Structure 1
Amino acid sequence: MKRVLPLFLGFILLLPLSIASASWAYPFVVYSGHIYQVTTQAVQPEDVGQKIGKVTKYSDREGTYRGNFSNMYPKGTGYYAIEGRSRQEAIAVRTGEDTYILAIQQGAYSGGPEMRTIWWLYTGIGIVAVACFAWAAKVMQKRRA
């Protein structure tokens, strides 16, 4: 029994956590629950409207995240409305001083659990496993006595 617990804990620690280098299909930003593919098309500063949001989470690691996420732009990068276009169709992303690029909506983005949530899940599983092994060891000791 003393050998089983370390082997089990070692096994849990070796489970893959789906952390991988990014291999995104395209650069994107997420705004208001929708994913926008970043294009190479510039938006003229005179066509840019009010600021509507900003990147709240950046990661170059593949996964799903909550909030206004981007796999290309750092946290704080601004999103802007485009005069004469619906936000449901396209937005402008600020890439520099008076420089904006077009991002076209591709559909709804369903943000999944962040890595923190997955770590809590593994921690909970580990605690339950340790408690089960401790209980089983106690039962075995009582049977031997």
Structure 2
Amino acid sequence: MKALIQRVKGASVEVEGRRLGAIDQGILALIGVEKHDDEARADKLLHKLLHYRIFGDDAGKMNLDLQQIEGGLLLVSQFTLAADTRKGLRPSFSSAAAPEDGQRLYHYLLEQAQKRWSKVATGEFGANMQIGLINDGPVTFLLET
């Protein structure tokens, strides 16, 4: 399971002009699900999302996590993160989970996140989404489990 995370001052997701989710300061996490992923990998990724220290402390060092700053978590399904781009000029999606498996694991991750943190927002799995964000830094990391 992969998450491309961005530290944001704010982010939102829309589908067909409807705002589905929005956060203020926090993490925008684009989530990619691969064939070998399971609930244990989703749990590990969630732990990283909630505890990854990418926010500045009083000295400006990245020592604080999402919960310490009481930030929001915006989870957005991102099928293309599972692409293999090592060869050629066209992405291969052979390592991506089947749509039903990807949806099941994405929703599992979302449900677990909502149980563990009160400030969770989401887009719509499989939809054509428009994401707006103010990247803080910029600070962007690729997390893999």
TM tier relative to shorter chain: under 0.3
More helix, by proportion:
1
Query: Is the radius of gyration larger for structure 1 or structure 2?
Result: 1
Q: TM-score, normalised by structure 1?
A: 0.24
More strand, by proportion:
2
Q: Which has the higher contact order (CA 8 A, sep 6+)?
A: 2
